Amino acid sequence: MAQRFLQLAEVSEILNISAAQAYALVRSGELPAIKVGGRGQWRVEASELEGYIQRMYEQTRSFVRAHPFGGDADD
């Protein structure tokens, strides 16, 4: 059975970012997460991480469409 919730360390490893960057994504609300346990440790649902990744792909596609590389410039 696949793991439902991920620790921030796992999220940072999957996204190849620092733990501080993963924490910032969660704290900003950009990556939905929950706090669990008495010490309030953050957990990210795997489906939320996949949704975040898909949103980032769409944002990147939109950015590339709006900012095409090259163009008709003569070199």
* Confidence at residue 75, expressed as pLDDT on a 0 to 100 scale: 42
Distance CA 64, CA 75 (A): 21
User: What's the 3-state SS for 37-73?
Assistant: CCCCEEEEEHHHHHHHHHHHHHHHHHHHHHCCCCCCC
pLDDT value for 30 = 97
Tens of each residue's pLDDT in the chain, 75 residues:
789 999 999 999 999 999 999 999 999 999 999 999 999 999 999 999 999 999 999 999 999 999 987 655 544
Residue count of the chain, please give it: 75
Alpha-carbon distance of 3 to 43, in angstroms, equals: 11
Its CATH architecture, for the domain 5-66, is Orthogonal Bundle (1.10)
Q: What is the DSSP letter of 72?
A: S
pLDDT reported for residue 14? 98
Give me the pLDDT at residue 70, please: 60
